[in-house]
Amino acid sequence: EEEKHKYVKGKKLGEGTYANVYLGHLVTSPSTLVAIKKIKIQAAYTEGLAPDAIRELKHLQELSHPNIISLLSVFSSKDQNLNLVLEYLPLGDLEMLIKDTEGVRYGAADIKAWMGMLGRGVWWCHENFVLHRDIKPNNLLIAADGEVKLADFGLARSFSDPYRIMTSNVITRWYRPPELLFGAKHYSGAVDIWSVGLVFAELIIRTPYIAGDSEVQQISLICQAIGTPSEDVWPGVSKLPEYTVPEPPTPVRGKDHYLATFGTAGHEGVDVLMGMLVLDPRKRITAREILEHSWWSSDPKPTKNEDLPRKG
Task: Measure the CA–CA gap between 177 and 219, rounded to whole angstroms.
Answer: 9
3-state secondary structure of 84: strand
Cβ nearer to ligand ADP, comparing 142 with 237: 142
Q: What is the smallest separation between the CB atom of 15 and ligand ADP, expressed in angstroms?
A: 6
Quick count: other Cβ atoms within 10 Å of Cβ 79?
Answer: 7
Q: What is the smallest separation between the CB atom of 154 and ligand ADP, expressed in angstroms?
A: 8
Can you give the binding site for ligand ADP, defined by CB under 6 A? 13-17, 19, 21, 35, 86-90, 138, 141, 152
Q: What is the smallest separation between the CB atom of 32 and ligand ADP, expressed in angstroms?
A: 13
Q: What is the smallest separation between the CB atom of 60 and ligand ADP, expressed in angstroms?
A: 12
Catalytic residue numbers read: 134
Q: What is the smallest separation between the CB atom of 33 and ligand ADP, expressed in angstroms?
A: 9
Backbone angles phi, psi at 243, to 5 degrees: -70, 115
Cβ nearer to ligand ADP, comparing 96 with 122: 96
* Rounded alpha-carbon distances, angstroms, from residue 282 to 19, 62, 139, 189, 279: 35, 27, 25, 10, 9
What distance lies between CA 191 and its chain's CA centroid? 10
Cβ nearer to ligand ADP, comparing 15 with 242: 15
Q: Are 208 and 218 in contact (CB under 8 A)?
A: no
Cβ nearer to ligand ADP, comparing 142 with 245: 142
Cβ nearer to ligand ADP, comparing 148 with 252: 148
Decide: residue 291, CB within 10 A, 0-12 exposed, 13-18 middle, 19+ buried: middle
Task: Measure the CA–CA gap between 96 and 34, rounded to whole angstroms.
Answer: 21
Question: Which residues make Cβ contacts (< 8 Å) with residue 162, sequence separation at least 6?
Answer: 186, 188
Find the angle CA(20)-CA(171)-CA(211) to the nearest 5 degrees: 105
Q: What is the smallest separation between the CB atom of 16 and ligand ADP, expressed in angstroms?
A: 2
**DSSP assignment string, 202-256:** HHHHSS-SS--SSHHHHHHHHHHHT----TTTSTTGGGSTT---PSSP-PPP-HH
Backbone angles phi, psi at 170, to 5 degrees: -125, 165
